[in-house]
Structure 1
Amino acid sequence: MIQEIYDYVKQLQMIDTHEHLPAYEHMREKNDVITEFLAHYFNVDLVSAGMSGKECAALKGSSLNILEKWEVLKPYWEVCRHTGYGQSLQIAAREIYGIDSICAETIEALDAAYQKGFDGNHYRTVLKEKSKIKVSILDTWGDEGFDREYFITANRIDTLIQPRTGKDMLELEQAAGVCISSFEDYLSACEIRLNQYDKVSHILKLGIAYSRSLDFLPATRAEAEAAFLKLLRSGGGYIDKEEQIYYCDPVLTNYLFRFITGLAQEKGMVMQIHTGIQEGNGNILSNSRPSHLNEIFLEYPKMKFDLFHIGYPYQSELGALCKMFPNVFVDMCWAHIVSPVAARQILDEWLELFSFSKISGFGGDYMLIDGVYGHQFMARNNIARVLSGKVEEGLMDTEQACRIGKALLYDNPARIFGIEE
């Protein structure tokens, strides 16, 4: 790696395109460091490696002390520590808490240092001072508040296009101020809701690939209305049964997605879409193929689509779509910890496939704040390594490489998401 490029990328201020952190620091749940570190992502590797549900629950619970938890964790840690998720946690332990290695001899010291982070200043220390993050785009549902010192929001549209419980419908009624008794009422409520979102943030988020395919086949209004009325009347009253889960016909979701996308396009909004591997243990991977969205990109040419997670393992497919469509952008959020090697390889490919101005280089995508630090550390390292390789190949000089590094981490997401200075 060329030291000048690494040093430059390391000190850059960045924009974080995607987070799941508590909206305010005081909302952080105080627990031990093992419970915290297993709250998101790494526990998936442990279960994949054979950890039982009982063991996982014990590590996340409060019945064992920190040393007892380590004894349960140790055999799985040894076989998973080199995954992207494991690397991120080791970096956080070393760079935030001064613990060089996570092991039986250091776990108590790590926990003691972690506990000191509940001083009300951990967000500032980790996000601003150590990670140099100007702002993070926080994935939010509904009218949740958020700390504007650290976040702007991306508003979820999943429940608008796929209502599945009476609570979904009731919350939409209350937020929009519309009594929903017809399909026209529902469409009006969705439009009002989108207007409300736009006043807070012009960024939308769709994570529906966790529950169905991204293949939104065309549907007529008549077909969608019939599906909606069936849903509304199911069980003798949709809204009256808040917690009951209902079947939402894909025809209805297909129509509503196009309806919402059309409105968002008129407003000049940006839609972030989950593509590629789903978090957790077990799902239908092919539901999240980026190519399912091909027709949507054709139908809504003025809508900005920001496609998440490099589409892993469909990253070349995602790159081809980005090359073909001016309105499609790629986002490396989550990617550097899902597979550090794949993130480097695809960035290497993309820099010679399409304009680097279409790539956002980092999004932490974490529920735990220390993980954000580890992830951005890995992202900067990955980007510097790839750019150094391009210089060594003679494709660009060091000055150009540094300019691209700044574009990936700051200039591009600032422009794509309209983030003002």
Structure 2
Amino acid sequence: MEKIKDLIEKKVFKTSFIDTHEHLIDESERLDCIEPIIPCDDWALLLNHYFSFDLISAGISKKQLDCLFSKQVDPINKWGILKEYWPYLKNTTSGIVFRNTIKILYGIDEVFEDNIIELQYRYEQTRKKGFYKYVIQDIANIKHCHVHSPISACKKSELPDLLLQDIALNGLIQVAVKPYSVPENVKINSLSDWHSLIDWWFSEFNPIAKGVKIGNAYFRRLDFERVEANEVEKIFTRKNSLQIISPEEEKKLQDHLFWYCVDKATEYGLPVKMHTGQWAMNNVMNMHWVKDNPSDCASLCKQAPNTKFVFFHLCYPHYEEMLSLAKSYSNAYIDMCWSWSINPLTAKDFLKKFILTVPNNKIFTFGGDDKIVENVIGHAFVARKGIAQALTELVTENWITITDALDLVENLMYKNAEKIFEK
């Protein structure tokens, strides 16, 4: 047992990941502390994503949370804000990610009042020009990341070989101009003009894009139906002129634009990445919509058999249905991004079941889904631990051989992603 575990762990921890989903800004933007993405520039910033959602869930007040991530509060005093909640969160995966990050990156085994000064010093010493490559490739052992920019629908990164880009389509589907620069020759007066804007974004960014990202599951069900342009032209005109449209009209318009975008992505050979399952926000998640995600995703696969759909996050907590989906539909792929940080035991069990249920070329096993680059280290550690455990258990339970397990590692960690995201 120990020999099997050691062999598999050694292979998994030595093998590089392709990270298929992050929300990282460019290094220069991070060093410039652009707001609101980077609200503070100290050790507490490492807690400013999924850990902060868990803090809210645990009952922290808005005033306390604002102080924890404020530039005006002395970093050394921030432990006083956190210490009440740390015992409640340190063993959640968001806490474990933070603990592994500071251990691997800074050599600090645990955070407590007496070492906050050292933690802040090491944070400052690491955060300097060149640290993105150091963190991602040298420490986390990641070849490159696919990025859904939190600033723009897509952008040309200053580190194009490290931060590969996806085109975010939410706003193009919802008719939200703000995240999208509009070329001078495109005037938005009609649905046809909006189509032209979509066409421009694909033409402009297709050369650098690895895929497109659709996160509309936060705002509606994924029951997108094909609607012809002539059915929604007047609806678009009214919405574009800021007139009120009904929920039924909004759905029809979004349905039409969703399929216009998906068909365009398919034309360019870009996989369509979609959020499913758990929401990364507090006190708003519509569990009815989430429960319907798997059946809605099956309908999408059926309606567009030539489109490669990549479904994120295991549709947690409805992951058994996603196994059935990926097994049944040849154009359905599963991306485990964020899942290791939602529930690593579920993610480990999912991977075991996937290997025994679905062709194993249809899964991508890692994406931190984070906006703070240092946290990629902790996320990757948790994922590697889970992958190694999944493979070890499959061997010790006599489902596969040790040779089978070792042969799977490279495909699961980077080769599958290389193949599907090549255009």
Change (3 A) 1:255 1:362: same
Structure 1 unaligned regions, length at least 5: 237-245
Residue in structure 1 matched with residue 142 of structure 2 by the alignment: 133
Q: Please say if residues 155 and 197 of structure 1, whose CA atoms lie closer than 8 Å, have aligned partners that are also in contact.
A: yes
Structure 2 unaligned regions, length at least 5: none
Mapped partners of 1:330, 1:228: distance in 2: 33
Give 1:16-415 correspondences, 5 Å limit: 16-25=19-28, 27-28=30-31, 29=33, 31-140=40-149, 141-146=152-157, 147-164=159-176, 167=178, 171=180, 173-174=182-183, 177-234=185-242, 249-283=250-284, 284-288=286-290, 289-415=293-419
Shift of 1:400: 1.4
Mapped partners of 1:34, 1:286: distance in 2: 38
TM-score by length of 2: 0.91
Shift of 1:34: 4.0
Q: How many residues align?
A: 406
Q: What amino acid is the match of 1:397?
A: T
Change (3 A) 1:25 1:266: same
Mapped partners of 1:143, 1:49: distance in 2: 34
Shift of 1:13: 1.4
- What is the CA deviation profile of residues 100-159 of structure 1, one whole-angstrom value per residue up to 9, with x for unaligned ones? 111112222111111101221321221111111111101133452311131111111111
Change (3 A) 1:173 1:149: closer
Q: What amino acid is the match of 1:186?
A: W
Mapped partners of 2:42, 2:181: distance in 1: 38
Change (3 A) 1:76 1:189: same
Shift of 1:285: 3.6
Mapped partners of 2:279, 2:249: distance in 1: 21
Q: 254-263 vs 85-94, which deviates more? A: 254-263
Mapped partners of 2:206, 2:89: distance in 1: 42
Q: Please say if residues 322 and 329 of structure 1, whose CA atoms lie closer than 8 Å, have aligned partners that are also in contact.
A: yes
Shift of 1:161: 1.1
Shift of 1:372: 0.3
SS in 2 for 1:116: helix
Percentage identity across paired residues of the two chains: 28
- What is the CA deviation profile of residues 330-362 of structure 1, one whole-angstrom value per residue up to 9, with x for unaligned ones? 001111111111111111111111111111010
Q: Please say if residues 164 and 248 of structure 1, whose CA atoms lie closer than 8 Å, have aligned partners that are also in contact.
A: no
Mapped partners of 1:115, 1:56: distance in 2: 22
Change (3 A) 1:354 1:80: same
Residue in structure 1 matched with residue 14 of structure 2 by the alignment: 11
Mapped partners of 1:305, 1:388: distance in 2: 29
Q: Please say if residues 215 and 292 of structure 1, whose CA atoms lie closer than 8 Å, have aligned partners that are also in contact.
A: yes
Mapped partners of 1:20, 1:148: distance in 2: 15
Q: 376-385 vs 316-325, which deviates more? A: 316-325
- What is the CA deviation profile of residues 291-333 of structure 1, one whole-angstrom value per residue up to 9, with x for unaligned ones? 2222211111111111111111111111111111111100011
Mapped partners of 1:200, 1:323: distance in 2: 30
Shift of 1:191: 2.2
